[in-house]
Amino acid sequence: MNPLLSAAPAIVAAGVEVFSAAVRAQGASVTDVDWRPPGFGAAADLAQLALDRRRAAANRTAVERLLAAGSHLVDVRPAREVLDLGDRMLLHSGPPLTWETASGPMRGALIGACLFEGWASSVEDAERVLAAGEITLDSCHHHRAVGPMAGVTSPSMWMWCLTDPVHGGQAFCNLNEGLGKVLRMGAFNDEVLTRLAWMRDVLGPLLQQAVRSRPEPLDVKAVLAQMLQMGDEGHNRNRAGSLMTLRELSPAIVAVDAPSADIAAALAFIGGNEHFFLNLGMPSAKLALDAARDVPGSTMVTVMSRNGTEFGIQTAGTGDRWFTGPANTPVGLFLGDYGPDDANPDIGDSAIMETYGIGGFAMAAAPAIVRFVGGTVPDALATTERMYQLTLAENPAMQIPILGFRGSPTGIDVLQVARTGWLPQINTGMAGRVAGTGQVGAGLVQPPQQCFEQALTALAEESRAAG
């Protein structure tokens, strides 16, 4: 005991900083431990999952499937040919909803789709058939599809058709309309409907012929990987990805037997749409996450999505079950005279990019994104560093140059989210809350905590049932 009492004290502190400060004020040396109590969740549920002997192997399996998945663009076809659409059915982003629970931009997109398909002759007529339940609504995710913002997909819209050459999965997404007043942002005026008609009659058929004529499929996963090397993060910044896609497809588009004016219009449209690639990146991410579905014991998130009213997540260990909470409203930068009061709560399937480990998780790869969504470059770097604490792996295919080409944080772990109390970061566009407005800005948002609380409880219950 004598050496212990005669030597200077060695103090290790965990918890609130006030204790460390008080000891240092007395001249003692203190080593602080970065420890914190669980962020949320019942202690019994946290313990159940932490002690589940299946968890490590199950999460490893889910991650291995996700990382191994590939993504090839193999065709472009109308939705009615590739999606299991019933008579007068519209797909939408996020968890299931009804006309009564739909937000302003979702209602605007549904109205526009009814007008586009000829199911209604006026806005009032569209509202009537939707309110009467004459149009069936279902989630894109229930049909192996994803859609940005409102995500509304109707039978006449052309779809990117992607396959996973490793696991054999398929995923689909409609074509990107560009920015501003567009259907996915809830706008439905003549400009929107005219553009959709052109995409149906001209752009879709051109892209179909071009994609089918290529000697080999476009490797979309490879484009995603290159984008991160070129300043994109794959969600709100797709400039490099869109240009690479134009480079890959333009020779085949030019060779299509079609009027030169149509070919010129198609190339101009793609070249002027910086988000053109997003609708290829999203189904690519979905392919990877669908490959990781249905792994009993896994706590990995396979879906994060929002419909403008609710935010929903799914996990590998609980299959197709949704865990939902009220969608938060993004915080960011606004267009023109729009402000916070004009923004609708979070909306869109595009959070599949963050679920895959890019987008908001890879902000460090795209410091220029802060000029579009707000924040600072140090914020972008810190966000990516924080997301490593919530994930199960690093994706070696999606490397971040400024972090020494470290793989992006991949595989959100419900247990780690609960332990840290940190929520996934999402970069997103903002739709106007009033139907017909269109885009009002872009910003940052997080899921509601209760989605993860529900998933934690369900996973713990499944673990107890499995013994």
Q: In the predicted model, is pLDDT for residue 433 greater than 60?
A: yes
Q: Are residues 76 and 50 in the same domain?
A: no
Q: Are residues 138 and 200 in the same domain?
A: yes
Task: Provide the pLDDT for residue 33.
Answer: 59
pLDDT, the chain, mean: 94
Q: Which residue has the higher pLDDT, 17 or 276?
A: 276
Q: Are residues 86 and 224 in the same domain?
A: yes
Q: What is the mean pLDDT of residues 398-418?
A: 97
The three-state (H, E, C) secondary structure of the chain, written as one string: CHHHHHCCCCEEEECCHHHHHHHHCCCCCEEEECCCCCCCCCHHHHHHHHCCCCHHHHHHHHHHHHHHCCCEEEEEEEHHHHCCCCCCEEEECCCCCCCCCCCHHHHHHHHHHHHHHCCCCCHHHHHHHHHCCCCEEEEHHHHCECCCCCCCECCCCEEEEEECCCCCCEEEEECCCCCCCCHHHCCCCHHHHHHHHHHHHHHHHHHHHHHHHCCCCEEHHHHHHHHHHCCCCCCCCCHHHHHHHHHHHHHHHHCCCCCHHHHHHHHHHHHCCCCCCHHHHHHHHHHHHHHCCCCCCCCEEEEEEEECCEEEEEECCCCCCCEEEECCCCEEEECCCCCHHHECCCEEHHHHHHHHCCHHHHHHHCHHHHHHHCCCHHHHHHHHHHHHHHEEEEEEEEEEHHHCCEEEEEEEEHHHHHHHCCCCCEEEEEEECCCCCCEEEEEEECCCHHHHHHHHHHHHHHHHHHC
End-of-domain residue from the set 281, 305, 323? 281
Task: Provide the pLDDT for residue 8.
Answer: 67
Q: Are residues 336 and 435 in the same domain?
A: yes
Q: Are residues 251 and 314 in the same domain?
A: no
- What CATH number is associated with residue 164? 3.90.1710.10
Q: In the predicted model, is pLDDT for residue 34 greater than 80?
A: no
Q: In the predicted model, is pLDDT for residue 13 greater than 90?
A: no
End-of-domain residue from the set 261, 281, 301? 281
Task: Provide the pLDDT for residue 128.
Answer: 98
Q: Are residues 263 and 323 in the same domain?
A: no
* Strand duo 136-139 + 89-92: pairing: parallel
**Any domain includes 184:** yes
Q: Are residues 265 and 292 in the same domain?
A: no
**Any domain includes 220:** yes
Rounded to 10°, the helix 104-117/123-131 angle is 110
**Any domain includes 62:** no
Task: Provide the pLDDT for residue 372.
Answer: 79
254: pLDDT confidence band, cut at 50, 70 and 90? very high
Q: In the predicted model, is pLDDT for residue 259 greater than 60?
A: yes
Q: What is the mean pLDDT of residues 66-88?
A: 96
pTM of the model: 0.91
Q: Which of 35-49, 101-115, 128-142 is least confident?
A: 35-49
pLDDT digits (tens, 9 = 90+) for 180-239: 899 999 999 999 999 999 999 999 999 999 999 999 999 999 999 999 999 999 999 999
Q: Are residues 215 and 297 in the same domain?
A: no
Task: Provide the pLDDT for residue 371.
Answer: 83
Q: What is the mean pLDDT of residues 261-268?
A: 98
**Any domain includes 105:** yes
Q: In the predicted model, is pLDDT for residue 3 greater than 70?
A: no
Domain count within the chain: 3
Q: In the predicted model, is pLDDT for residue 467 greater than 90?
A: no
Query: Could you give the percent of the chain with pLDDT greater than 90?
Result: 88
Q: Are residues 135 and 50 in the same domain?
A: no
Task: Provide the pLDDT for residue 30.
Answer: 74
Q: Are residues 288 and 218 in the same domain?
A: no
Residue 111: which domain range? 67-281
Q: Are residues 154 and 236 in the same domain?
A: yes
Q: In the predicted model, is pLDDT for residue 32 greater than 80?
A: no
- What CATH number is associated with residue 384? 3.90.1700.10
Task: Provide the pLDDT for residue 247.
Answer: 97
CA distances from 383 to 173, 310, 367, 429, 447 (A): 28, 24, 11, 18, 15
Give the span between the Cα atoms of 398 and 182, in whole angstroms: 30
Q: Are residues 101 and 166 in the same domain?
A: yes
